[in-house]
């Protein structure tokens, strides 16, 4: 079995399957990390016919995926997920072609840093609800998921998700699960042998599975978009449907674009926040440092807001450290090479899959002293360009929701620490329970295994302010969305809807 010696080094491969048998289904990024100790920061492997280039070093990832971004802006072909489940309509799986750029141009105006800052009134409302919920319930997972989905549903469709137990949340979870299921490497014969997908349905049972899942997802996205179009106030469904680009798309393609934006924002933001709560359990020392800063800058008689950001460097460092400490996509989001390339003397073939190993880069001992420790202070020592900071990906495929996401993370972290001490629960033996901070799932977005935490109010003033803020805040989304539209106009953004 021929191995191209110009490829980066990597483990020995078997005929036909290559290295597939060496990659576990459970936490595969930890195996890749072990490989990098042996083969170095750029490696190659073979999955069937697919050449995989694995990158465990920040500078190499930036050199290829950022600096040579145009060469590395495609995605690997996942036949089951792309052709059968989403029928080419998932932006994350699209190749970097004219159609992708059409979608990018349609989304860019509503996702720019300036537009993202105008969405703060929704983040303000939803985070006030979250604080209010934490007064009487420690079910932080539910409250964080509700926050994330309600923010995106408000922006995209003009309606809120008020309890987190609605059918919409269940549907969104199911769709994410289906996508992860269909994208699993090594599960579908058709991903290894794409030709199989031309078999008729009765000989290709996986196509029926794909078709069923497609029906569920497409009807949800269409239903939601139609609600958005009928909503009284401004929202992204309206904005996209009258845009020049949106007019060139059939309704289902438009509905998928909107639906994927909501999906992309749901699991990501809530998982990062669960990791933050996990850090409060494993490394509680940082809590009092953060609270001292908040008390000094904000005081105890009002909630922190987005405009406090520049004066709360420690809180910003807590956000960075949360993103680093446990990446939500530890196995990276793969890109693909659009052309053959040469780097450090190695050949990178056209169509090779390029995987930036976030797990290895975030936990690199050369970059981060004692990397398994949660220590926000490491981000205060001034800017160090060699450190891993690409939490939102690379080049032309960088996360388009990152400005909205960063604002959410800041407001949520600042407000939770302003109001609460996050404590471990007390076990049957009367001692605080400990949590295993390495116990994570193996899905594409890797979340911590369920754990408990207790949200103890810091003082009675905080209760009074949280209750008062929640009672008096504007909750009518139509009014909020119209005010966002006005704000966008006043800062000179070009609105169409």
By CB under 6 A, name the binding residues for ligand HEM. 91-92, 261, 264-265, 268-269, 272, 328-329, 333, 335, 391-394, 397-401, 404-405, 409
CB of residue 317 to ligand HEM, shortest distance in Å: 16
CB of residue 427 to ligand HEM, shortest distance in Å: 32
**Residue 454 DSSP symbol:** E
Sequence-ordered list of residues with C-beta below 8 angstroms from that of 416, at least 6 positions apart, any chain? 130, 131, 134, 422, 455
Nearest residue to 338 via CA among 68, 43, 86, 100: 68
CB of residue 96 to ligand HEM, shortest distance in Å: 8
Which CB atom, from 277 or from 333, has the smaller least distance to ligand HEM? 333
**CA atoms of 324 and 359, how far apart (whole Å):** 9
Which CB atom, from 41 or from 331, has the smaller least distance to ligand HEM? 331
Which CB atom, from 159 or from 392, has the smaller least distance to ligand HEM? 392
CB of residue 52 to ligand HEM, shortest distance in Å: 15
Which CB atom, from 261 or from 363, has the smaller least distance to ligand HEM? 261
Sequence-ordered list of residues with C-beta below 8 angstroms from that of 264, at least 6 positions apart, any chain? 92, 399, 401
CB of residue 495 to ligand HEM, shortest distance in Å: 18
Torsion angle (degrees, nearest 10) of CA 59, 62, 64, 70? -170
Phi/psi of residue 306, nearest 5 degrees: -60, -30
Which CB atom, from 277 or from 329, has the smaller least distance to ligand HEM? 329
Nearest residue to 268 via CA among 105, 395, 131, 400: 400
Which CB atom, from 138 or from 269, has the smaller least distance to ligand HEM? 269
Sequence-ordered list of residues with C-beta below 8 angstroms from that of 41, at least 6 positions apart, any chain? 55, 56, 57, 60
Which CB atom, from 280 or from 400, has the smaller least distance to ligand HEM? 400
Consecutive H or E run containing 405: helix 402-419
**CA atoms of 332 and 55, how far apart (whole Å):** 10
CB of residue 494 to ligand HEM, shortest distance in Å: 19
Nearest residue to 218 via CA among 57, 62, 37, 88: 88
CB of residue 240 to ligand HEM, shortest distance in Å: 13
CB of residue 188 to ligand HEM, shortest distance in Å: 21
Which CB atom, from 164 or from 259, has the smaller least distance to ligand HEM? 259
CB burial of 176-211 (b: ≥16 within 10 Å; e: otherwise) equals bebbbbbbbbbebebbbebebbeeeeeebebbebbe
Which CB atom, from 29 or from 206, has the smaller least distance to ligand HEM? 29
CB of residue 78 to ligand HEM, shortest distance in Å: 13
Nearest residue to 373 via CA among 294, 437, 466: 437
**CA atoms of 336 and 47, how far apart (whole Å):** 14
């Amino acid at each position: 079995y021929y191995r191209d010696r110009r490829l980066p080094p990597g483990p020995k491969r078997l005929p036909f399957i290559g290295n597939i048998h060496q990659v576990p289904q459970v936490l595969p990024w930890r195996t890749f990390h072990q490989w990098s100790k042996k083969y170095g920061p750029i490696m190659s492997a073979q999955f069937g016919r697919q050449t995989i280039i694995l990158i465990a070093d920040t500078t190499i990832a930036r050199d290829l995926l950022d600096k040579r971004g145009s060469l590395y802006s495609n995605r690997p072909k996942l036949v089951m997920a792309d052709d059968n489940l989403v029928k080419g309509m998932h932006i994350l799986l699209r190749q970097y072609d004219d159609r992708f750029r059409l979608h990018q141009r349609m989304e860019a105006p509503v996702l720019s840093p300036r537009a993202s800052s105008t969405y703060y009134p929704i983040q303000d409302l939803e985070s006030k609800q979250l604080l209010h919920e934490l007064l009487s319930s420690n079910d932080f997972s539910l409250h964080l998921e509700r926050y994330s989905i309600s923010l995106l549903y408000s922006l995209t469709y003009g309606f809120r998700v008020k309890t987190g137990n609605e059918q919409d949340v269940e549907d969104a979870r199911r769709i994410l699960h289906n996508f992860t299921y269909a994208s699993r490497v090594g599960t579908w014969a058709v991903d290894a042998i794409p030709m199989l997908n031309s078999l008729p349905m009765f000989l290709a049972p996986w196509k029926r599975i794909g078709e069923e899942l497609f029906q569920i997802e497409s009807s949800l996205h269409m239903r939601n978009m139609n609600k958005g179009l009928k909503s009284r106030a401004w929202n992204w469904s309206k904005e996209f449907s009258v845009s020049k680009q949106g007019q060139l798309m059939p309704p289902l393609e438009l509905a998928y674009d909107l639906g994927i934006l909501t999906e992309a924002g749901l699991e990501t933001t809530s998982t990062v926040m669960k990791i933050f709560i996990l850090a409060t359990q494993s490394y509680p020392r940082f809590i009092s440092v953060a609270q001292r800063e908040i008390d000094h800058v904000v005081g105890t008689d009002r909630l922190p807001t987005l405009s406090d950001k520049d004066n709360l460097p420690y809180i910003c460092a807590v956000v960075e450290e949360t993103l680093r400490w446990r990446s939500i996509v530890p196995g990276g989001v793969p890109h693909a090479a659009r052309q053959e390339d040469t780097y450090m003397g190695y050949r990178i073939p056209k169509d090779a899959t390029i995987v930036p190993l976030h797990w290895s880069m975030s936990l690199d001992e050369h970059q981060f002293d004692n990397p398994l420790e949660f220590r926000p202070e490491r981000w205060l020592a001034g800017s160090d360009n060699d450190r891993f900071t690409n939490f939102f990906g690379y080049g032309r495929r960088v996360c388009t929701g990152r400005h909205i996401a960063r604002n959410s993370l800041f407001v949520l972290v600042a407000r939770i620490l302003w109001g609460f001490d996050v404590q471990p629960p007390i076990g049957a033996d009367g001692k605080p329970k400990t949590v295993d901070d390495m116990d994570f799932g193996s899905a594409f977005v890797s979340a911590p295994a369920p754990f408990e935490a207790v949200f103890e109010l810091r003082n009675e003033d905080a209760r009074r302010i949280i209750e008062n803020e929640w009672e008096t805040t504007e909750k009518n989304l139509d009014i909020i969305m119209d005010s966002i539209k006005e704000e966008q106009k006043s800062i000179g953004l070009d609105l169409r809807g």
